[in-house]
C-alpha cells in the first residue's frame, strides 16, 4: 500500500491507510503484504542535515504505521522506503525491510552536487567532445523544457 509521507504526489495518509487495510483484510484471497513510500520530497532541500532528519522521520513514520496496521491483526511483513538522498539513513531504521533508492546504486552528478555522494562514488563517467550544435536560425531537435 502506497503511503504519502510528504511528497503529496501519491499515496494515502496514515488514517486512510489503516481504514483501507482493514477493508482489504475482509476480501478473501487478498493479502496486504506491506507499506511503501517514496520520500521524494528530500529532493526539495539542499540542506543535508534537513534531508537526514527527513530520512529518520520517514523511516520512523513507516515503521510506526506498519505497527499500527499490525495492531489490526494484519500480518504485514514489508516496510519499504525509497529515495536516493535518504537511502543511507532510512536503510538503518530498525523495522525498514526494503529500500528502493533509484540512482543510489550508481550515483550521478546530481547527487554529488547535493552532497549525498562524492565524484568517486559515481559508477560511470562520460567524456565527450561537442562537435556541433544548432545554429541560432535553426530549430533544435530537442524539446524546449523551459515551458
pLDDT of residue 133: 75
Contacts of 143 (CB under 8 A, 6+ apart): none
What domain count does the chain have?
Answer: 1
Q: Is 139 part of a structural domain of the chain?
A: no
What domain range is 97 assigned to?
2-121
pLDDT of residue 135: 77
> Is the pLDDT assigned to residue 97 strictly greater than 60?
yes
Give residue 116's pLDDT band: very low, low, confident or very high (50, 70, 90): confident
* Phi and psi based region of residue 119 (left: phi greater than 0; alpha: psi -120 to 50; beta: remaining): alpha
CA distance 116 to 56: 15
- The domain spanning residue 73 has which CATH number? 3.20.20.10
Q: Of residues 79 and 89, which shows the higher confidence score? A: 79
* Phi and psi based region of residue 31 (left: phi greater than 0; alpha: psi -120 to 50; beta: remaining): beta
CA distance 113 to 39: 19
Q: Is 147 part of a structural domain of the chain?
A: no
Give residue 131's pLDDT band: very low, low, confident or very high (50, 70, 90): confident
Q: Is 133 part of a structural domain of the chain?
A: no
pLDDT of residue 105: 79
pLDDT of residue 117: 84
* CA distances to 12, 49, 55, 106 from 122, in Å: 34, 22, 22, 6
pLDDT of residue 59: 94
Q: Is 27 part of a structural domain of the chain?
A: yes
Give residue 114's pLDDT band: very low, low, confident or very high (50, 70, 90): confident
Q: How many CB atoms lie within 10 A of CB 66?
A: 23
DSSP assignment letter at 73:
T
Q: Is 117 part of a structural domain of the chain?
A: yes
pLDDT tens string 22-66 = 999 899 999 999 999 998 888 887 787 888 899 899 999 999 999
Q: Is 20 part of a structural domain of the chain?
A: yes
Q: Is 144 part of a structural domain of the chain?
A: no
pLDDT of residue 143: 57
Mean pLDDT of 79-88: 87
Q: Is 16 part of a structural domain of the chain?
A: yes
Amino acid at each position: 500500500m502506497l503511503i504519502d509521507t510528504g511528497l503529496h504526489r501519491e499515496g494515502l495518509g496514515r488514517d486512510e491507510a489503516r481504514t483501507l487495510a482493514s477493508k482489504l483484510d475482509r476480501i478473501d484471497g487478498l493479502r496486504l503484504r506491506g507499506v511503501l513510500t517514496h520520500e521524494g520530497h528530500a529532493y526539495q532541500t539542499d540542506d543535508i542535515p534537513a534531508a537526514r532528519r527527513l530520512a529518520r522521520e520517514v523511516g520512523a513514520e513507516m515503521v510506526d504505521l506498519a505497527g499500527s496496521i499490525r495492531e489490526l491483526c494484519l500480518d504485514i511483513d514489508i516496510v519499504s522506503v525509497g529515495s536516493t538522498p535518504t537511502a543511507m539513513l532510512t536503510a538503518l531504521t530498525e523495522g525498514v525491510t526494503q529500500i528502493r533508492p533509484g540512482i543510489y546504486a550508481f550515483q550521478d552528478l546530481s547527487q554529488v552536487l547535493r552532497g549525498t555522494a562524492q565524484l568517486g562514488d559515481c559508477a560511470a563517467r562520460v567524456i565527450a567532445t561537442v562537435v556541433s550544435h544548432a545554429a541560432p536560425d535553426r530549430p533544435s531537435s530537442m524539446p524546449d523544457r523551459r515551458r
